[in-house]
Amino acid sequence: MKGKNIESLWSHVHGLGVLASLGSYTAAAQRLGVSKAAMSQRIAELERAAGVLLVRRTTRSVRLTEAGQQLVDATRASFDEIERSFSGVKDLAAAPRGVVRVTAPVALGRQQIVPLVPAFLRQFPEVRIELELSDRLSSLAQEGFDLAIRHVAAVPDTHVAWTLCPTRSLLVATRGYLRRRGVPSQPADLAGHDCLYYLRSGDNPTWSFEPGKGKGGRIGVPVKGVFAANNSEALREAALGGAGIALLPDFSAHRDVLAGKLVVVLPDWRPVGAFGEQLYAIRPYSPHVPRTVQALVSYLREHLGGGFPVA
């Protein structure tokens, strides 16, 4: 078989793969931008060249024969790699464009991510962001997200993670509450306070601490209080209202600490284990990362890289 014929048959093999995926000559022709008759002719030419039936046609369906399925299975990885490589080359030549589907925790998204979005969209006017705010940990691949913003302790091996900034937990209360109830001097003192804690199913709420200067082991303190919630914004609002001492991620509390509305409690102790200590942008592993995703991650790293200072 001469080289020219081999080259044309490669496109026919690709067409066979599209037909197998869509199960319809009409749909495959539309995907490839050809007529239904041209699509049928390509498959017929491929069958003549192979010397074997590749597609079994009925009035209701199109199904591959064993030989046709074997050919599709053997070449699918090559065509997928060609498609990924071509997408990468297109990305190099074009400005970021298209949709980026992002998921983020409710409080983090509302307080830190959404305020950054307008300037990003002005910088990249051909990008559209779809942001889902949820404290539920989503399956990125199954639910079609391009990126997740999370504060977690570890990232699955099957995912790629970019560190955006460090984050930490803060124990906070209003000065008014501390005047009424006293200022704790050590973690054990929290047993006598109203503690506003993050609601996790099946938990007996316990806060853990390590000495800020690293001397001594971890201490666990069972806590109780009149209010718990599964959202750090709700806990912060309760703390601002003087309802008790709240354990919050710094991105949720730092502005009110800087403004003097909340003060840090037990500053010589470091709360541990309640929230992650790094803020990550996470996506399932793939050889090619779209430019839209790269652009958004770089933007977030630039604007969040300093973390959330409280002094």
Sheet containing strand 206-211, strands side by side = 219-222, 206-211, 269-272
Helix, strand, coil share (%) of the chain residues, nearest 5: 45, 25, 30
Residue spans of the domains in the chain: they are 3-93, 98-167+277-304, 169-272
User: What is the number of other CB atoms lying within 10 angstroms of the CB of residue 141?
Assistant: 13
Q: Which residues contact 264 (CB under 8 A, 6 or more apart)?
A: 170, 171, 172, 257, 310
CATH number of 169-272: 3.40.190.290, 3.90.800.10, 3.30.420.40, 3.30.450.20?
3.40.190.290
CA distance 35 to 45: 15
Q: In the prediction, which pLDDT does 5 show?
A: 60
Sign of the dihedral through C-alpha 281, 237, 169, 263: positive
Q: In the prediction, which pLDDT does 93 show?
A: 47
Judge whether 3-93 and 169-272 match in fold.
no
Beta bridge partners of 100: 129
pTM: 0.67
Q: Tell me: domain 98-167+277-304, CATH 3.40.50.1860, correct?
A: no
Tens digits of pLDDT across the chain (311 residues): 444 465 567 788 888 888 888 888 888 888 888 888 888 888 888 888 888 998 988 767 788 899 989 988 888 888 777 666 666 555 554 678 899 999 999 999 999 999 999 999 999 999 999 999 987 766 676 677 899 999 877 777 778 889 999 999 999 999 999 999 999 999 999 999 999 999 886 667 899 999 977 667 889 999 999 999 989 999 999 999 999 999 999 999 999 999 999 999 999 999 998 888 899 999 988 777 889 999 999 999 999 998 999 88
User: What is the number of other CB atoms lying within 10 angstroms of the CB of residue 39?
Assistant: 23
Structure tokens at 164: 């955006």
CATH number of 3-93: 3.40.50.720, 1.10.286.10, 3.40.50.300, 1.10.10.10?
1.10.10.10
CA 27 from centroid of its chain's CA atoms: 32
Beta bridge partners of 282: 148, 161
